[in-house]
Structure 1
Amino acid sequence: MWLLQKRLVRGAAMTASVGTLVMGLGACGQGDSDTTGGVSCESYAPGITDKEIKLGLTWSDTGDGAASFTAFRGGIDARLGLANANGELFREVTYAWRDDQADPDLNLRVTKELVEAEGVFGVMKAGGGGAGSIPWLAEKNIPVTGIGSDAAWQNRANMFSFYNLGEGSSTAWGKIIRERGGTRAAVLAISGSKSNSDFSRQYAASLLESGVEIVKTYQFAEAVTNFEAIADQIKENNIDTLAGVVLPDVAIELLPALRARGVELKAAVLPLGYDDKLLQEDGESLANAIIVSQIKPWQANTPEQRAFLDRMNLYSPQIQPATSDIAVDGYIAADLFVEGLKLAGECPTRESFISALRAVTRYHGAGLIPTDVDLSTNYKEPSACYSVVQVNPEGTAFTPLFDSEPLCGDLITTDRMDELLGTT
């Protein structure tokens, strides 16, 4: 959900080669490989040669929020660095990138540059203004991976994500709050942002379907917000839950103001912020906050998680701490391309990539996501399973909730959502 934050960034462009090429493996099947590596094909898809696979990336490189995107790119570098070092695809994987300045119109323009001028095979999306190019990429049947936090990803067979915000909603958010005893909610939204508005509606429908009353709704503008006044209103209205687009920078201000007034919330639920660095800087202010994540809790300390951290330290040592959901998002965006290219064979086409990867019914996201994902169907409806962690009372650590198991909700159709929100 980190894409809920608005980012205004300037443009930039460059080409990046990731990792060290290791070409010690022979090849078999559709093409012939020589002793120096590479694969010979009768014909090549765009972005494919006998020695190279070239991908594209759109993201925000500079300006507000750029630090978050740096972690996303770090995850990409770690996964592609591993693929190159192990010779997983018999070719070196490189990528060219463009800065879309969080502008949909610019995103469309720079995406066309990547495809038409750079000749990339497919595109990884790190958010920003990514929705601007989605219809064009679908029309051209160009493979796309990333985090599907825009509803426009839904029902696009060429677009792959382990998580999809989609259209409609699920009861997961409301279920989290009811499990913690919350019944009366203040819902926060950010004015002037369509993506945030869409998410706020989905969130509100989840609460209402789960029996949580929405007592107050607050529209936050970019201007300075009077958190003291909001805290007063929350106390006066006996509100026990803070929900919606509760970004960390808002929670850091609002939660201490509520505590100063003696308000003990049943649940303060953030859609992002599962990051050790955040605790290091503002953990005390976030004490007892609940954070919903699309990745497996780091406290599980699985072999796959340890392997991910080792790879981040090797290929992206600048990302510290590497226990970041955003870094995982980038890692999985690259992993989807690696896995799809493996399945598509030594002489892949865009069509063979899409059909092969779309047929995967149990994608495990390198072991970093809460549950296996059925890629053959997950692009058709919103994701409904999340990991849930809570900041401890001292603000020094995250504790997984629900016995470290993912919490899953039931689908809410768009018609039912409209009915709940009174927009039918």
Structure 2
Amino acid sequence: MRLCRQAGLLGMAAAVLVAASAGCSATSTVDSQGGAAEICTSPGVSADQITLGFVYPDSGPGSDALSSTRAGVDARLGLANEQGGIHGRRIVYDWRDDATSLTQNVQVVTSLVHDESVFGLLTASVTMGDSMAALSADGVPVVGLAAESSWSNYLNMFSFVYADSPEVVAQYVATSGAVRAGIVITGDAPSTLQLAARYTSALASVGIASESVPFNPAVDSATQTARRLAASGVNALVGLSSLDDLATIMQAAHTTGMEIAASVALSGYDQRLLAAKGKQLAGVSFPVAFRPFESGGPAIDRYRQAMNAFAPQAGGPDQQLAMFAYIYTDMFLRGLELAGSCPTRQGFINALRGVTDYDAGGLISPVSLRDNMGKPSPCSAIVQINPAGDAFDVVRQRVCADGTSS
């Protein structure tokens, strides 16, 4: 164990130790009985537990949206440890707050990997960008939220979904009777404008014209925006904006009598949203990358039971990002299981990258982790806030980019 800690602290000098890039391998010694006993010297691995690191924004911009992710980690690890752990070892974690800061992310990732010598990382961060190259060079396995495009450049970094598919959303909007869509955007960041261009192209591919709708509630009138959209024939909205901005425009649309055949937001599938803005967002649909909570079934039952038992602080299990973190954690556990009784970092990476049918125990459609890097989800379920604004309804079990649906 000490050998791995020293190798991690040496940083660049770790290149001298070839095994360090694989996370320190197993060695053999002679036990008291005179036989060969395997000793696991990988970072974070002891006789009875494996220690992971978890990085997410507990403070700073976006921290509220990602706050439920830690509950998802707690729930899945709690369930695994209740069932005996992985190869007889409990799985535990140390966590750090990156405060949605690239600089602080580098600091906390370095702390976990080099000072705490964790085996690998779970992440629910949107500011991993400046840490990725070093994690790859050190051969540290990472599973989590692939919020940055560079995530897909590294074989040591895993996710089950890299992006929502504009083509899936376009297919859903097309089947809803839309003829022209307004793409609502907040701000003019290059990434936002690039995403809007992708949705424009996807909508055009199914015969729907569209226009971008920049909206700043501090200077723009929602009523005037809704009237302008109605006058140009827009009868569908795609929200690449904040949910607050979309709710403001939706309210103005209803007040002015604007007909809306379809409205879609990319995130927000969460019971807390219903309590806060359910009535304002009634009729808004959301693509979902996992089996919707409302669909039920054994996999959803297991998730809910784990959340209630091991993460009661979450205030209810039906939260999109808690589910994402639960699945990320399940992926990591799958990698540990496949890496064997004395796991190494490189053995983990090789084993998990070789999985071609990962389905999170029935929570997602099977995905190949061998070749899904950087690819949007080919299919999604679609849920919609009901007219009363107090529940989600499953309106499509499956909509795919190729036009098939159920």
> Shorter-normalised TM-score: what interval?
0.7 to 0.9
In the TM superposition, what are the counterparts of 1:344-359 in structure 2 within 5 Å? 344-359=339-354
Which residue of structure 1 aligns with residue 79 of structure 2?
82
Structure 1: how far apart are the matches of 2:305 and 2:27?
34
Which amino acid is 2:187 matched to?
S
TM normalised by structure 1 equals: 0.81
* 1:72 corresponds to 2:75: no
CA contact (8 A) 1:204 1:244 kept: no
CA displacement at 1:72 relative to structure 2? 0.5
2:124 is matched with which residue? 126
Alignment of 1:38-57 (within 5 A): 41-57=38-54
The count of residues paired between Structure 1 and Structure 2 equals 371
Please list every run of 5 or more consecutive structure 2 residues that lacks an aligned counterpart in the other structure: 1-25, 32-36
Partner SS state of residue 263, structure 2: strand
Aligned partners of 1:221 and 1:118: how far apart in 2?
Answer: 44
- Aligned-CA RMSD value: 2.4
Identical pairs, percent? 33
1:37-186 alignment, distance < 5 Å: 41-89=38-86, 90-165=88-163, 171-186=167-182
Q: 1:115 to 1:279 in 2, by over 3 A?
A: same
Give secondary structure in 2 for the equivalent of 1:191: coil
Contact 2:40 2:46 in 1 (8 A): no
Contact 1:304 1:368 in 2 (8 A): yes
Q: In structure 2, the residue corresponding to 1:171 is in which secondary structure? A: helix
Question: Which amino acid in 1 is paired with 2:388?
Answer: E
315-324 or 64-73, which deviates more: 64-73
SS of 1:130's equivalent in the other structure is: coil
Q: Supply the distance in 1 between the matched residues of 2:191 and 2:132 (Cα, whole angstroms).
A: 14
Unaligned runs of 5+ in 1: 1-28, 35-39, 412-424
Taking the aligned partners of 1:387 and 1:234, their CA distance within structure 2 comes to 28
Match of 1:381 among 375, 378, 384: 375
Amino acid paired to 1:78 = A
Q: Does 1:390 align with 2:387?
A: no
User: What are the within-5 Å matches in structure 2 for residues 333-348 of structure 1?
Assistant: 333-348=328-343
1:243-392 equivalence runs, <5 A: 243-369=238-364, 371-392=365-386
Partner amino acid, structure 1, of 2:70 = R
One-letter identity of the residue aligned with 2:145: I
Say which of 184, 195, 199 aligns to 1:188.
Answer: 184
**Which one has the largest radius of gyration?**
2
Instruction: Describe the SS at the equivalent of 2:181.
Output: strand
Inter-partner Cα distance in structure 1 for 2:360 and 2:126: 23
Given residue 214 of structure 2, which amino acid in structure 1 is its aligned partner?
A: Q
Q: CA deviation at 1:96?
A: 1.6
**CA separation in 1, counterparts of 2:323 and 2:290?**
8
- How far does the alpha carbon of each residue in 1:244-264 deviate from its partner, in whole angstroms, 9 at most, with x for none? 414322222111110000012
The alpha carbon displacement at 1:30 in A equals 10
CA distance in 2, matches of 1:276, 1:31: 52
Indicate yes or no: 2:404 matched with 1:408: no
| TM-score normalised to structure 2 length | 0.85
Partner AA of 1:358 in structure 2? R
CA contact (8 A) 2:357 2:368 kept: yes
Letter in 2 for 1:156: Y
How far 1:55 moved relative to its partner? 0.9
Offset at 1:242? 0.7
* Counterparts in 2 of 1:206 and 1:141: CA distance versus 1, 3 Å: farther
Change (3 A) 1:225 1:139: farther
> Is the partner of 1:264 in helix, strand or coil?
coil
Is the Cα contact below 8 Å between 1:100 and 1:128 reproduced in 2? no
- 389, 393, 402: which is aligned to 1:399? 393
Deviation at 1:297, TM superposition (A): 1.3
